[in-house]
Structure 1
Amino acid sequence: MTVIEVQHLTKRYKDTLALDDVSVSFEKDTIYGLLGRNGAGKTTLMSILTAQNFGTSGSARVFGEDPYENARVLSRICFVRESQRYPEDALPAHAFRMASLFFPNWDQAFAEELIADFELPLKTRIKKLSRGQLSAVGVIIGLASRAEIIFFDEPYLGLDAVARQLFYDRLLADYAEHPRTIILSSHLIDEVANLIERVVVIDGGRIVLDDETDAVRSRAATIVGDQAAVDLFVTGREVIHRENLGRVASVTVLGDLTADDRAALQASDLDVAPVSLQQLVVRLTQHAARGAAKGDLR
């Protein structure tokens, strides 16, 4: 079941094109990774879907409706972002109390478990919290809201590695018991790779990849070996990255490798290296940027 449907969405800020004819959908009870570089359009897309911004053209529907000033929609979604703002003198307890009043599925017992997990001081003003503690406030609200759609726009970047792993573990465990649609925007792609079920990559305001994570893992391979042999093998294939060191070449290509391909690689004494999700996203966005610079993508 589709819970978010975006059709030909464009957002322009004066001379900046933040979203360029974006069409994408998000399904019920799925964990998505919304990935891309800074300024790619991730936050703009999420802001429009949560009624904190407007598209210049196109449409964005959540639960089949326009989310703007729509209480039926907004009470069912939660948007947590790194730059979340709170009232000047608010305590974490105040933030959680306000969240409990807004989100109909709020789980206070779960919130209290998370407060203990993250060792969050409830009697310290939010403006006095460390960056990690502030991140914990947002993470707790997002998880305990039990909203049907939760957007995490990198609010966990302030957490240290141990606290981030705690967040990932609690998210997965709670998702298993209470499935919902979760959209994670992150630069820490390798860290979230095992969490996400579907990958959406946005670059330069355009969707450059939208596929199941398992399928994405097999979409590219890096061929390593003698330069002449590598060049012969990759002829006619889409090359997204290349490195040369003397007579040795390392070339990343898109496309599944068939049994015949692997036999040919073995016969040519060429090695095949897997491409991690982070490497693939980096290579794809670099490739898209080079194509745009040459006028290939416009």
Structure 2
Amino acid sequence: MNLIEVKNATLRYGKKTALNEVSITVPQGRVVGLLGHNGAGKTSLMKALVGLLPVQGEMTVLGLNPAGDRQKLLEQLSYIPDVAVLPRWARVSELITLMSRLQPKFSAERARALLKRTSVSESDKIKSLSKGMVAQTHLALIAAIDAKLMILDEPTLGLDVVSRKSFYEMLIDEWCDGERSVLISTHQVEEVEALLSDVIMLDEGRVALAISLEDIDRRFVALNHDPAAADAMAAAHPLLRYREQGRTTSLFDGAPPEHVASLGQRVRPSLVDLFMALTRNPALNSKQA
């Protein structure tokens, strides 16, 4: 069962194309990373999925049209946008009460149980909490909604490494159960790689790659080799060549020629390696122009 189905979705802001014929699916029980440079279309896609932006093409989330059935949709999913804030004047207990009145599938008991995993007290005011504590409070409130899908747009932006680790631990331990799915955009690729089951990479509004992590190992081949093999590797046209542990690694989409494969040792390509190979950094491109 696919919780998200998008086919040929296009979104334009005037002359700028934010999404260019994007087609993706997110099955149930998956943790999907949405990766892309700034301006690649990640936030536009997530806003479209929750009905905040209309798109051309086909889009269904939990079997609903996000733009046409937005109120019904928001009762059935959890969403933290990239500019998520909690009212600084409120106490945590007041936010639990507010959520109970606004969201029919919210469980105050569940929220309190999740908060016990943190150092946040119900009597605390938001303005007295650190950024990391606010993020954990927000996740506890959102994860207390009985939903099948959670959409998170850069939820740990600006947090230190300890706070990010605590956030992701709560997410995986307390919300992911094999039936629910998470779509999460982030720049901390190395930190979330171990959590993900699938990845979607956007490049200038297009899907550069949509694949499970299992299939990455089957499809892509990275060969670690000595400098003497550099010319032969280059002649085989790898996607990317980079230095790792004092040696050069060449990354191929599919199996390289046999005579080339014998010149190196196969290693597992990381998401960062693939991301660098398959997407372009607009900031770097503008400097080179």
Common fold by TM > 0.5: yes
State the AA in 1 paired with 2:270: S
Q: SS state of the match for residue 242, structure 1?
A: strand
| Structure 2 CA distance for aligned equivalents of residues 149 and 196 of structure 1 | 15
Contact preservation (8 Å) 1:4, 1:61: yes
| Structure 1 CA distance for aligned equivalents of residues 242 and 276 of structure 2 | 14
| Structure 2 CA distance for aligned equivalents of residues 113 and 10 of structure 1 | 41
| Structure 2 CA distance for aligned equivalents of residues 100 and 178 of structure 1 | 26
| Structure 2 CA distance for aligned equivalents of residues 253 and 225 of structure 1 | 17
**Deviation >6 Å, runs of 4+:** 287-291
Number of the residue aligned with 1:282: 276
State the AA in 1 paired with 2:208: V
Number of the residue aligned with 2:109: 109
Distance apart, 1:176 and its partner CA: 5.3
Please list the CA deviations of residues 257-276 of structure 1 after superposition, one character each: whole Å capped at 9, or x if unmatched.
Answer: 6xx83x7544x4x3444321
Distance apart, 1:43 and its partner CA: 0.9
| Structure 2 CA distance for aligned equivalents of residues 24 and 254 of structure 1 | 20
Distance apart, 1:76 and its partner CA: 0.5
Number of the residue aligned with 1:132: 132
After superposition, where does 1:232-243 map in structure 2 within 5 Å? 232-237=232-237, 239-243=238-242
Aligned in 2, Cα 1:130/1:288: closer, same or farther, shift over 3 Å? Answer: closer
Gaps of 5+ in 2: none
User: TM-score with structure 2 length normalisation?
Assistant: 0.83
Number of the residue aligned with 2:174: 174
Distance apart, 1:79 and its partner CA: 0.9
| Structure 2 CA distance for aligned equivalents of residues 26 and 243 of structure 1 | 31
State the AA in 2 paired with 1:221: A
| Structure 1 CA distance for aligned equivalents of residues 26 and 75 of structure 2 | 18
User: TM-score with structure 1 length normalisation?
Assistant: 0.81
Distance apart, 1:121 and its partner CA: 4.2
| Structure 2 CA distance for aligned equivalents of residues 86 and 54 of structure 1 | 26
Contact preservation (8 Å) 1:199, 1:212: yes
Q: Is 1:58 paired with 2:26?
A: no
State the AA in 1 paired with 2:59: A
Gaps of 5+ in 1: 292-298
Q: SS state of the match for residue 24, structure 1?
A: strand
| Structure 2 CA distance for aligned equivalents of residues 197 and 250 of structure 1 | 25
Percent of pairs with identical residues: 27
Please list the CA deviations of residues 47-104 of structure 1 after superposition, one character each: whole Å capped at 9, or x if unmatched.
Answer: 011112222x223211332123623322111111241134463333333333333444
Q: Is 1:225 paired with 2:226?
A: yes
Distance apart, 1:236 and its partner CA: 4.2
Counting matched residue pairs gives 283
Please list the CA deviations of residues 184-220 of structure 1 after superposition, one character each: whole Å capped at 9, or x if unmatched.
Answer: 1111112111211111111111111111111114414
Please list the CA deviations of residues 231-270 of structure 1 after superposition, one character each: whole Å capped at 9, or x if unmatched.
Answer: 3245344x222358xxx8543222246xx83x7544x4x3
| Structure 2 CA distance for aligned equivalents of residues 10 and 62 of structure 1 | 16
State the AA in 2 paired with 1:33: G
Contact preservation (8 Å) 2:33, 2:196: yes
